[in-house]
Structure 1
Amino acid sequence: MMQDWKQILIPYEQAVEELKVKFKSIRNECRRLDEYSPIEFVTGRVKKISSIIEKAKKRQVKLEDIEEKIEDIAGIRIMCQFVEDIDTVVGLIRDRNGKDLKIVEERDYITNIKESGYRSYHVIIRYTVHTAFGEREILSEIQIRTLAMNFWATIEHSLNYKFKQDLPKHVKIKLKNAAEAAFKLDKEMSEIRDDIMEAQEIFQAKSSLVHEILEKIQELYFWGNINNIEEIRQEFFKLHEEGNFNKLKQFNKKLDRLKEEYNVRTIL
């Protein structure tokens, strides 16, 4: 039976890895272009065999029907900074519908909060993987939530595991209060979203500029054969410590002029 489970789960493991790569690539592309990414980070997992059997038993699903009736054997979780980003990510998934995935169902637990206080947006998809034995189309669940929602959900999951899904009443009350506090935090962060994003953009722009300057200093060192390279380094360190973005931009232009003067090649 274990060999059967292994064969069943291999395509799910492949799907999780492929989907993680696809959504991480969106985040990475945005960051390389110095643009804001609605995706903060991505995780994924395949349900443990014991959890699959337990869920099948709870839902009265026959083991031979689990692949069609249990949608979250493969699960992807996408975390966002702001509640508004969730709609953006859902839109990105909808844009892929009919291309590399098929949307089966959407479940909005942010508008329709669960009794426990749980908030998240779920998208059930069909995803095709190419295995050594041919194509397999499997069900997978994508959960999109904020960092605060994810923190709460992780704690709730741990407590449910500890109490075997039978939480004491006082724990349920505290958890529900904590869920409201987490959502209040999300709302307050949304109110200053523009300021946060502007600060992050400035930080990213400065990081990119510093990286660019260091590359140019390296190019001048290797190809320029200039005598005052140590003075240039010390000038950069001083400006970097000072942290004035405009002065760093001016210094970067100075390096461009030096590169032209010494006919320095760009390192690829």
Structure 2
Amino acid sequence: MNGHPIEQFKLIRNEITRFMMMYKFALQELETKIDILQEEFHLLHEYNPIEHTKSRLKSPESIMNKMMRKGCDFSFPSMREHIKDIAGIRITCSFISDIYRIRDMLCSQSDLTLTDEKDYISHPKPNGYRSLHLLVQVPVFMSDRQETVCVEVQIRTIAMDFWASLEHKIYYKYKQAVPAHLLKELKEAADSATALDRKMERLHKEIEQIKEEQSADEWNLSDIIINNQQFKLPAALLDLIGDRNKVGAGE
């Protein structure tokens, strides 16, 4: 590379900034999609499967360290090819069935492309780790071109997330072999979390069934709430809907 050292530094800095910026924008695109789903469920459904989300962007130092561990050459194309979790988002939900429901909702969006899926729920890791990992390609529209960026999506229940967070803290910066009895206890704790997930999902389904039976005649369809504003539906519109239902029933 020729030129003044300061100019060389600026060029490298701008390349790194542009590279990281693509992943930042891809995360924002995915976060917007999830926000829309949350708002839709809030307005139209009684139950929202998405509890909360957390996103993160690997630092350039972390990316370089992972490239060194993998023995890859240091270039931006190589980083994109070999490091698939530069951008990541974790979606936490209440129940196991929610995980696959959220997966299906994301994968049904035409501008997202699922490139890989690892189901650590059906096939847990030996230590007991459970989560659904997806790699999705997200289109990012820049001022001069379109980029397709890989984002890792992890979907797990609250119980799975609780176990994984504590397991990470226990192992954080621990370089030695973990005693066998501790591994056994961690696995037992993961199994307990799974048992709790299954029991809570069963209770949830039973209670939802009871709620549906009790509230069949208690719906108030005359009001809607959008963006914290309450709107009264016009009587003429309600009459029109009622007339259509009568015609449908008569047929």
TM-score (norm 2): 0.73
Partners of 2:145 and 2:137 in 1: how far apart?
Answer: 16
Mapping 1:50-61, distance limit 5 Å: 50-61=61-72
User: 1:26–1:109: structure 2 CA closer, same or farther, 3 Å change rule?
Assistant: same
The answer for the alignment partner of 2:15 in structure 1 is 4
Match of 1:120 in 2: 131
Kindly tell me: are residues 8 and 158 of structure 1, through their superposed partners in 2, closer, same or farther at Cα, counting changes over 3 Å? farther
Shift in CA distance, 2/196, structure 1 to aligned 2, threshold 3 Å: farther
Q: CA deviation at 1:80?
A: 1.2
Aligned amino acid, residue 100 of structure 2: D
Q: Percent identity?
A: 34
CA distance in 2, matches of 1:171, 1:132: 53
The within-5 A match list for 1:71-220 is 71-96=84-109, 99-164=110-175, 166=176, 168-169=178-179, 170-197=181-208
Runs of at least 5 residues in structure 1 that lack an aligned partner in the other structure? 202-207, 213-218, 220-255, 257-268
The alignment status of 1:21 with 2:32, answered yes or no, reads: yes
RMSD: 3.1
3-state secondary structure, aligned to 1:78? strand
What is the number of residues matched between the two proteins?
A: 209
* Map of 2:243 onto structure 1: none
CA contact (8 A) 1:82 1:189 kept: yes
More helix by share: 1
Letter in 2 for 1:63: F
Q: CA deviation at 1:20?
A: 0.9
Gap regions ≥5 residues in structure 2: 1-11, 213-218, 224-229, 236-251
Structure 2 distance, partners of 1:27, 1:40, is 9
Provide the rounded CA distance (Å) in 2 between the counterparts of 1:117 and 1:52.
27
TM-score w.r.t. the length of structure 1 is 0.68
